[in-house]
Structure 1
Amino acid sequence: MKTLLQVILFLFISNSFAQNSPFEKWSELAEKDPSLQPEYGNIQKNQDQLENDQQFLDDLLNEYDGDSKKASKKMTELGFQYLYEKQDFITAMRRFNQAFLVDSDNADIYYGYGSIYFNLGELDKAREQYDKGLKIDSKHSEILTDYGTTYMGDFYQNFDTDRKLAFQKLELAKSYLDKSLKIDDKNSNTVYKLSIVNMYLDNCKEAWKYLKKAKQMKNPNVTETYEKELITKCGNS
């Protein structure tokens, strides 16, 4: 079971950055550079910094005809591109912060911040940012799915040392994934994760239902290892 959980979490959490630059190193960099902290660390900026921010805002808003929401959305899209396509966490955080400068009332900014911490393995810090995003948009299905996934991570981390706590975390994972699915039933990652969660909760019928749906949706993360584990635990569908 532990081996399978390691495989599952590897699929859900990109560790390419974490292997080379752990959170401790990121923290050292961020301590010296506020642009690597969510919301710039809420520092009191000096005059030069304020002027640079204003120049950036003027140039960006001019490009988007003064539409701050559109400009902020573009910056978050760039942030996610740097995060997942280039594994460039530094540039990604800077783009999310630039989006924050333009329009702080954009839930995707906090989804971005949380995703960086999520990929660094800092699940509590990820949830702090996800909470901020959900205060803006309580029906942000992607945040809800990743929020649930953080509790899957907690399940794995506690499985060998505190089985009761581990399963409490798994129930939390299920609650967030269920909520996400009600909002968006087209996200195959949500569906696949619900299969996994239900298997470990001994909800075999649900586990098979969601696995079949994930396969129909051609989710690329579905593995033979998981399906074999599901057969072992629950029997054939």
Structure 2
Amino acid sequence: MTTKLFTIGFLALFSLFYTQNCPEKINILPMYGEVTKCKEQLESDKEFLAEMDRFFPKRRDAMQDRIKSGWKYFYENDFETSMKRFNQAWLLNPESYEIYWGFGNIIAIKGKPKDALKYFDMAKKLNPTNSDFYVSTALAYSQIFLEEKNSKLLNSAIKDLEKGLKLNPKNGKLYSMLSTSYFYLNNIKEAKKYLVEAEKLDSSSINKEYKRILDSK
């Protein structure tokens, strides 16, 4: 009886030790939660990389495959699987801007726009000429504004959007976001001005309900 209790206690202690040293569900966190992985997780990574090396001539090719899969699941609203694929891409080669863009978009959708800004900034550093990143950061600032009602956040969004326009003055999404930012600031004149520009360049970037509300002002 004593031996049996000792065995149960030992197994419970081992289970606790294992849990403490193998953080769970890190594959649904950006960059695996930036935690120290346990031996078993490191072995799993090694096996995954070896498998990718068998199927692809270069790890960059394998990374692109995982990124493609990540976006596929993202647009299917399967954000957990999407995050797992972006993490695998990061493990293969952490130098692609799309990985961090994916991280940021998923985190923002899950209601953590402040955390998302970090990953959008990382994407910008790797690809500073992509104007769509400024749409993403402006959306994150707008999300935070809706929670905190701090107009400084909208001014930050506007600055980012203006930077994006310098990179690509024909990006309709930037004008659309500028319109909504000024709308939240109760600057209806500027909001209407930028909505007109957005319509000229990309009518699909405009929310029909928002346009109806703005037209009524």
TM-score class, shorter-chain normalisation, is: 0.7 to 0.9
Residue 83 of structure 1 contacts residue 89 of structure 1 at CA under 8 Å; is this kept in 2?
Answer: yes
With structure 2 as the length reference, what TM-score do the two structures score? 0.77
1:75-125 per-residue CA deviation (whole Å, 9 max, x = no partner) reads 2222122122x2111111100100111111122211111111100111111
What is the letter of the counterpart of residue 191 of structure 2? A
Residue 169 of structure 1 is matched in structure 2 by: 153
The Cα RMSD (Å) is: 2.4
SS in 1 for 2:203: coil
> Is 1:40–2:24 an aligned residue pair?
no
Provide the C-alpha distance between the structure 1 equivalents of 2:46 and 2:128, rounded to a whole number of angstroms.
31
Are residue 75 (structure 1) and residue 66 (structure 2) matched?
yes
Residue 211 (structure 1) aligned with residue 195 (structure 2) = yes
Partner of 1:222: 207
Distance 2:192 2:77 in 1: 33
Distance 1:210 1:63 in 2: 48
Cα distance in 2 for partners of 1:78, 1:105 equals 17
**Number of residue pairs matched by the alignment:** 194
Residue-by-residue CA offset, 1:57-91 (whole Å, 9 max, x unaligned): 2332443311x33332332222122122x211111
Deviation at residue 187 of structure 1 after TM alignment: 3.8
Task: Report the counterpart of residue 8 of structure 1 in structure 2.
Answer: none
1:126 to 107, 116, 119: 116
Residue number among 64, 85, 90 corresponding to 1:95 in the alignment: 85
Contact 1:192–1:219 (CA<8 Å) still a contact in 2?
A: no
Change (3 A) 1:232 1:221: closer
Q: Which runs of 5+ in 1 are unaligned?
A: 1-30, 160-165
Q: Which amino acid aligns with 1:207?
A: A
Alignment of 1:44-63 (within 5 A): 44-63=36-55
CA distance in 1, matches of 2:36, 2:128: 30
User: Which of 165, 176, 182 is residue 198 of structure 1 equivalent to?
Assistant: 182
Contact 2:124 2:133 in 1 (8 A): yes
Report the CA distance between 1:202 and its aligned residue.
5.5
**Take 1:177 and 1:63, find their aligned partners in 2: how far apart are those partners?**
41
Question: Higher relative contact order by CA 8 Å / sep ≥ 6: 1 or 2?
Answer: 1
8 A contact 1:214–1:222 mirrored in 2: no
Higher Rg of the two aligned structures: 2
Deviation at 1:55, TM superposition (A): 2.7
> TM (normalized to structure 1)?
0.71
CA distance in 2, matches of 1:142, 1:81: 19
